[in-house]
Amino acid sequence: MTNSSTSGIKSFGAYIPRRRMLRSAIAAAHAWSHPSLKGLAKGERSICNWDEDVITMAVEAGHDCLRGSSGGISGIVLASTTAPYADLNNAMVVGAALSLPTESSANDCGGSTRSGLSAVIGACRAVGDDVLVVASEQRTGKPASAQEMNFGCGAGAVTVGTGEDVIAKFLGAETLSVPFINSFRKAGERFDYGWEERWIRDEGVSKLIPGAAKRLLSRLDLAPDRTIWFGMSGGGAGADKLVAKVLQIAPEQVLPDLQAQVGDTGTAQPILLLISALERAKPGDIILIASFAQGGEIAAFEMTQSAAATGRRGLAGSIAQRIEETAYLKLLAFDGHVELEWGMRAETDNKTALTQLYRSADQILGFVGGQCSSCHQVQFPRMPACVNCGALNTQKPYSLLDVPAKVQTYTADWLQYTPAPPLYVGLVQFEVGARVLMEIVDVGPQGIDVGTPLEFAFRIKEQDRMRHFDRYFWKAVPVV
For residue 269, the surrounding DSSP H or E stretch is: helix 268-280
CA-wise closest residue to 61 among 46, 75, 49, 78: 78
Averaged pLDDT of the chain = 93
Q: Are 471 and 436 in contact (CB under 8 A)?
A: no
pTM comes to 0.95
In this structure, is residue 339 part of a structural domain?
Answer: no
Listing DSSP states for 210-223 in one string gives HHHHHHHHHHTT--
pLDDT digits (tens, 9 = 90+) for 64-109: 999 866 668 999 999 999 999 999 999 999 999 999 999 999 999 9
Residue 87 sits in the same domain as residue 187: yes
**Band of pLDDT at residue 142, cut at 50, 70 and 90:** very high
Residue 294 sits in the same domain as residue 390: no
Last residue in a domain, options 290, 311, 334 = 334
Residue 105 sits in the same domain as residue 225: yes
Mean pLDDT of 256-274: 96
Whole-angstrom distance, CA of residue 422 vs CA of residue 223: 57
Residue 300 sits in the same domain as residue 403: no
In this structure, is residue 156 part of a structural domain?
Answer: yes
Mean pLDDT of 106-115: 95
In this structure, is residue 139 part of a structural domain?
Answer: yes
Residue 316 sits in the same domain as residue 369: no
pLDDT digits (tens, 9 = 90+) for 382-438: 999 999 999 999 999 999 999 999 999 999 999 999 999 999 999 999 999 999 999
Residue 367 sits in the same domain as residue 315: no
In this structure, is residue 45 part of a structural domain?
Answer: yes
473 alpha-carbon distance from chain centroid: 17
298 alpha-carbon distance from chain centroid: 21
Higher pLDDT, 303 or 206: 303
Say which CATH number the domain at 47 has: 3.40.47.10
Whole-angstrom distance, CA of residue 234 vs CA of residue 347: 41
Whole-angstrom distance, CA of residue 455 vs CA of residue 402: 7
Residue 311 sits in the same domain as residue 363: no
> What is the domain range of residue 430?
344-478
CA-wise closest residue to 242 among 202, 211, 287, 286: 202
Amino acid 154: pLDDT: 98
186: left (phi over 0), alpha (psi -120 to 50) or beta: beta
In this structure, is residue 67 part of a structural domain?
Answer: yes
Residue 388 sits in the same domain as residue 245: no
Whole-angstrom distance, CA of residue 1 vs CA of residue 3: 7
Residue 440 sits in the same domain as residue 325: no
403 alpha-carbon distance from chain centroid: 22
Residue 375: helix, strand or coil by DSSP?
coil
Whole-angstrom distance, CA of residue 29 vs CA of residue 369: 46
Mean pLDDT of 354-372: 95
Structural domain count of the chain: 2
**Band of pLDDT at residue 4, cut at 50, 70 and 90:** very low
pLDDT digits (tens, 9 = 90+) for 435-446: 999 999 999 998
For residue 354, the surrounding DSSP H or E stretch is: helix 354-359
In this structure, is residue 264 part of a structural domain?
Answer: yes
pLDDT score of 9 more than 80: yes
Residue 281 sits in the same domain as residue 166: yes
CA-wise closest residue to 259 among 245, 269, 249: 269
Residue 209: helix, strand or coil by DSSP?
helix
Residue 39 sits in the same domain as residue 129: yes
Last residue in a domain, options 334, 365, 386 = 334
Whole-angstrom distance, CA of residue 42 vs CA of residue 27: 10
In this structure, is residue 126 part of a structural domain?
Answer: yes
Burial of residue 288, with CB atoms counted within 10 A of its CB: 0-12 exposed, 13-18 middle, 19 or more buried? buried
Listing DSSP states for 270-313 in one string gives HHHHHHHHHHH--TT-EEEEEEESSEEEEEEEEE-SPPP--S--
35, 195, 202, 209, 376 from 198: Cα distances, Å: 21, 9, 6, 15, 65
Residue 159 sits in the same domain as residue 216: yes
Last residue in a domain, options 334, 367, 400 = 334
pLDDT score of 296 more than 80: yes
Angle ∠(346,53,47) on CA atoms, nearest 5: 90
Whole-angstrom distance, CA of residue 336 vs CA of residue 82: 14
In this structure, is residue 315 part of a structural domain?
Answer: yes
